[in-house]
Amino acid sequence: MKTYNVGIIGATGMVGQRFALLLSDHPWFKVTVLAASSRSAGKTYEEAVTPRWAMSEPIPESLKGITVMDATADIDKICSLVDFVFCAVDMKKPDILALEEAYAKHECPVVSNNSANRFTPDVPMVIPELNPEHIDIIPEQRKRLGTKRGFIAVKSNCSLQSYVPALFPLDEKFGVDKCLVCTYQAISGAGKTFERWPEILDNVIPYIGGEEEKSEREPLKIWGKIEGDHIALANEPKFTAQCLRVPVSDGHMAAVFVSFKKKPTKEEILEVWKNFSGVPQELKLPHAPKQFLNYFVEDDMPQTKLNRNLEGGMAVSIGRLREDTQYDYKFVCLSHNTLRGAAGGGVLLAELLCAKGYMD
């Protein structure tokens, strides 16, 4: 595989810091640009990020001395230095739409962690093990944008990165009829640490703005199909969600209740999870977990603190599968929100796009 020069837009943020760690020693990608707002521009990455560095590993040596660029004002220069960018910025939706489209129109592909473009009909929203074929909408998007190389591809919200992977292969075999989910989400999902959010200690906050709508609606795009120049949303499975913020640094847990069109046995469900793998495993992409779905038989597993880093934070942990009194089954599942749920998911998507020739 050739080496691609890449930029991180939003490099100083919580997700940007994860990107910095994942990309500093990536076998295919070399970080040539770090960009953020005008507040950080002109400083070295070390100066800009040190006051808010929230990772347990240190700032990568190879990135410390890079001068942070202004994501908007320096767009021409940035696009001349990279083959594509990762984008994770905290900006208003219209501003993100304008920024991502500007990069794409500069012939610079964008792999985005932001929600702004998730429902743009010709923008693929991909969990690489589940719906990799959605990237084949990119030629249609390029036609709309009038670009040869430039496009936008996005990953889905972090809340659903545990339960959608667990349900997707079950739906293929048994048909998921309806699903109720309650998520227990880490504070890094709000770009926060315990130091910066002391009110969360000893507390649970029963509201995360916009999260329940994303958790219910985004799965329907993952389950969607390419129809001509757009991805048509699926009508089912039906989801209802409640999302809670809990005093955990990293890792989103979900409690799931599910009914099927054709109720499987518990053994059949476990068999599907054990045998499931996708295109990233087939292609041996650098960030593909060997075993994507991992079932724990112990009654008190998985646990957020113990299991969130499974396979570099790219695998999903599942446990407590049992019959329910109202639904067919219930279980819990867990994924790392800033790894599989954010930067890691973005890196895996970029690896898939490179392997399929979309970054050439």
Q: Binding residues for ligand NAP, per CB under 6 A?
A: 10-16, 36-37, 39-40, 71-72, 88-91, 113-115, 158, 188-189, 191, 337-338, 341-342
Beta carbon nearer to ligand NAP, 36 or 272: 36
Phi, psi of 359 (to 5 degrees): -100, 5
* Whether residue 108 lies in the annotated active site: no
* Nearest distance from C-beta of residue 89 to ligand NAP, angstroms: 4
Contact, 260 vs 328, CB < 8 A?
yes
* Nearest distance from C-beta of residue 154 to ligand NAP, angstroms: 10
Beta carbon nearer to ligand NAP, 10 or 224: 10
Beta carbon nearer to ligand NAP, 48 or 180: 48
- Within the chain, strands assigned E span 4-9, 29-36, 69-70, 84-87, 110-112, 152-154, 176-185, 225-227, 230-232, 238-245, 252-260, 293-296, 316-323, 329-335
Query: By beta-carbon distance, which residue lies closest to ligand NAP?
Result: 13
Beta carbon nearer to ligand NAP, 146 or 209: 209
Contact, 184 vs 137, CB < 8 A?
no
Q: Which two tokens stand for residue 357?
A: 């020739």
Select which of 87, 158, 179, 354 is catalytic.
158
* Whether residue 252 lies in the annotated active site: yes
* Nearest distance from C-beta of residue 142 to ligand NAP, angstroms: 24
Select which of 26, 134, 252, 287 is catalytic.
252
| CA pair distance 167, 237, nearest whole angstrom | 10
* Nearest distance from C-beta of residue 118 to ligand NAP, angstroms: 10
Helix, strand and coil in the chain, % to nearest 5:
35, 25, 40
Query: Running DSSP on this structure, what letter comes out for residue 326?
Result: S
Residues taking part in catalysis: 158, 252
